[in-house]
Structure 1
Amino acid sequence: MDLSFSFFWHQVLASPALLITVILTLCVIFVNGWTDAPNAIATCVSTRSMDVDLAIIMAAVCNFAGVLVMTLINSTVAMTITNMVNFGGDNSLALIALCAALFAIVVWAVLAWYFGIPTSESHALIAGLSGAAIAMQGGIQGINGDEWIKVIYGLGLSTVLGFVMGFATCKLVSILCRGMDRRRTDGFFRIAQIGGAAAMAFMHGAQDGQKFLGVLLLGICLAGGSDSAAGVDLPIWMMLLCSVVMGVGTSVGGKKIIKSVGMDMVKLEKYQGFSADLAGAFCLLLSSVFGIPVSTTHTKTTAIMGVGAVKRLSAINFQVVKEMLLTWVLTFPGCGAIGFLMAKLFMVVFQ
Structure 2
Amino acid sequence: MEHITLLIGIVIVTALVFDFTNGFHDTANAMATTISTGALGPRVAVAMSAVLNLVGAFLSVEVAKTISGGIIDEDSGIRPEVIFAGLVGAILWNLVTWLAGLPSSSSHALFGGLIGATVVSVGLDGVNGDAIVMKVLIPAVAAPVVAGIATVAATRLTYRLGRGRAAEDTAKGYRAGQIASAALVSLAHGTNDAQKTMGVITLALVTGGVVAPDSDPPLWVIVSAGLAIALGTYLGGWRIIRTMGKGITDIQPPQGFAAQTGAATVILASSHIGFALSTTQVCSGAVMGAGVGRKGAVVRWSTAGRMVVAWVLTLPAAGLVAGAAALLADQGNAGITAVAVLAVLACGAIWALSRRKPVDHTNVNEVDAHEPVGVVTAALRSVAPPPAGAKPSAPESAVEAAPESGIAEHTREQTPTPAAASSTIR
User: Is TM > 0.5 for Structure 1 vs Structure 2?
Assistant: yes
In structure 1, what is the equivalent of residue 18 of structure 2?
A: 28
8 Å contact from structure 2 (residues 155, 294) kept in 1: no
Matches within 5 A, 1:69-218: 69=59, 71=60, 75-83=61-69, 84-86=71-73, 88=75, 90=77, 94-138=79-123, 140-149=124-133, 150-218=135-203
Q: SS of the counterpart of 2:57? A: helix
Give the CA deviation at 1:103. 0.9
Q: Which amino acid aligns with 1:127?
A: G
* TM-superposed deviation, 1:314: 6.1
Query: Alignment partner for residue 233 of structure 1, among 191, 213, 216?
Result: 216
TM-score (norm 2): 0.75
Q: Which residue of 1 aligns with 2:229?
A: 246
**AA of the residue aligned to 2:142:** L
Q: Secondary structure at the match of 1:292?
A: coil
CA distance in 2, matches of 1:245, 1:223: 23
**For 1:242 and 1:37, how far apart are their aligned partners in 2?**
16
Q: Which residue of 2 aligns with 1:5?
A: none
1:311 aligned to 2:294?
yes
> Counterpart of 1:332?
315
Report the residue type matching 1:100 in the other structure: A
Deviation at 1:118, TM superposition (A): 1.2
**Structure 2 SS opposite 1:97:** helix
CA offset digits 1:105-161 (Å, max 9, x no partner)? 1111111111111111100011101111111223x2121123212112211222211
Q: Which moved more, 1:173-182 or 1:207-216?
A: 173-182
Q: Does structure 2 retain, via aligned residues, the 8 Å contact 1:37–1:204?
A: no
Aligned equivalents of 2:93 and 2:3: distance in 1?
Answer: 29
Aligned counterparts of 2:76 and 2:139: Cα–Cα separation in 1:
30
Which secondary structure state, in structure 2, belongs to the residue aligned with residue 11 of structure 1?
Answer: coil
The answer as to whether partners of 1:21 and 1:98 remain within 8 angstroms in 2 is: yes
Contact 1:39 1:257 in 2 (8 A): no
**Which structure shows the bigger proportion of residues in helix conformation?**
1
Q: 1:86 Cα deviation (Å)?
A: 2.3
Give the Cα separation in 2 of the matches to 1:63 and 1:126. 21
CA offsets per residue over residues 155-181 of structure 1, 9 Å max, x none?
122221111111111112122222223
CA contact (8 A) 1:87 1:137 kept: no
Q: Which runs of 4+ in 1 moved over 4 A?
A: 87-91
Q: What is the TM-score with the length of structure 1 in the denominator?
A: 0.90
Structure 2, unmatched stretches of 5+, are 336-426
Number of residue pairs aligned between Structure 1 and Structure 2: 332
Shift of 1:90: 4.7
Q: Distance in 1 between matches of 2:167 and 2:308?
A: 34
Q: Counterparts of 1:58 and 1:176 in 2: how far apart (Å)?
A: 29
The whole-number CA distance in structure 2 between the counterparts of 1:313 and 1:299 is: 23
Which deviates more, 147-156 or 291-300?
147-156
The aligned residue for residue 415 of structure 2 is none
Q: Structure 1 unaligned runs (5+)?
A: 2-9
CA separation in 2, counterparts of 1:85 and 1:210? 16
Greater relative CO, 1 or 2 (CA 8 Å, sep 6+): 1
AA matched with 1:278: T
Give the match's secondary structure for 2:171: helix
**Residue 278 of structure 2 corresponds to which residue in structure 1?**
295
The SS at the match of 1:48 is: coil
- Show CA shifts across 1:52-108 (max 9, x none): 010010110110111112x2xxx22111111211264556xx111111001111111
CA-atom RMSD in angstroms: 1.7
Which residue, out of 11, 18, 30, partners 2:3? 11
> Does the residue aligned with 1:277 lie in a helix, a strand or coil?
helix
How far residue 225 of structure 1 moved from its aligned partner, in angstroms, is 6.2
Q: Which has the larger radius of gyration?
A: 2
CA contact (8 A) 2:248 2:304 kept: yes
1:47 to 19, 26, 37: 37
Partner amino acid, structure 2, of 1:78:
A
1:340–1:240 Cα change, 3 Å: same
Percent identity reads: 30
Q: How does 1:272-287 map to 2 (within 5 A)?
A: 272-287=255-270
Aligned to 2:251: 268
